[in-house]
Amino acid sequence: MSQFTPTQRTQVKRLPDRGKYDSETVYGILDEGFFCHVGFVVDGQPFVIPTGYARVDDTLYLHGSAASRMLRTLAGGVQVCVTATLVDGLVLARSAFHHSMNYRSVVILGRATAVEERDEKLKALEAFTEHIVAGRWNGLRPVTDGELKATIVLALPLAEVSAKIRTGPPKDEAEDYELPIWAGVIPLRLTSAAPVADPKLIAGVEMPEHVRKYSR
């Protein structure tokens, strides 16, 4: 298990005991999630854009339309902050002040670069697809050159990284534990419902196992 070296920007300062800097924790959070928020500044105006991602070894990949202002801006080498968060539960305390959430989050800082080499670009696109629905890529038609040209893929090194985690029951004031107020945690988890077929699906096409048995 390797460790990320905390920097002035990634060191968790408030409630530092919740900070985690080992790759096992960071990669575990990133691999379980698939949705992040990308923060950057253009001409003094901050933007935070939601998007998908995929991790391959020590690199986080982002992708989207070649017309995307966010991706074109990031490809220019501006500083970027990527955050991914998993919400595990609602923490209900005996006072409104101590209500909280159980969560696992990762913050990544750095500069992204555009992926130009064809094989790496295809590898990243495969990683995106497999990260969302494992087993999907090999059953799809091949990516066309036009689709590759219309897609920007960015690589962000996982170097300046930290995780922050909260677990467990509420933390109330000592005198409040005697109050007749229910307190505890409502666990939350992401689940999938029954798949819905495309109305234009041709007759006789069976639902593949990776769809039928999908879980997160």
pLDDT at 1 over 80: no
Ordered structural domains, the chain, with CATH:
16-212 (2.30.110.10)
Question: Do 161 and 108 touch, CB atoms closer than 8 A?
Answer: yes
Higher pLDDT, 109 or 12: 109
Q: How confident is the model at residue 14 (pLDDT cuts 50, 70, 90)?
A: confident
Cβ neighbours of 55 (radius 10 Å): 20
Once rounded to an integer, what is the mean pLDDT over residues 181-200? 96
pLDDT at 110 over 90: yes
With 0.85 as the threshold, say if the pTM is over it. Answer: yes
pLDDT at 150 over 80: yes
Higher pLDDT, 13 or 102: 102
Once rounded to an integer, what is the mean pLDDT over residues 149-176? 96
CA-to-CA dists, residue 73 to 9, 78, 97, 116, 125, angstroms:
22, 7, 40, 16, 20
Q: How far apart are CA 124 and CA 104, in angstroms?
A: 25
pLDDT at 93 over 90: yes
Once rounded to an integer, what is the mean pLDDT over residues 59-71? 92
In degrees rounded to 5, what are phi and psi of residue 60?
-100, 130
Once rounded to an integer, what is the mean pLDDT over residues 69-94? 95
Q: What angle do CA 148, 150, 154 make, to 5 degrees?
A: 75
pLDDT at 4 over 70: yes
pLDDT digits (tens, 9 = 90+) for 19-41: 899 999 999 999 999 999 999 99
pLDDT at 86 over 70: yes
Question: Do 37 and 50 touch, CB atoms closer than 8 A?
Answer: yes
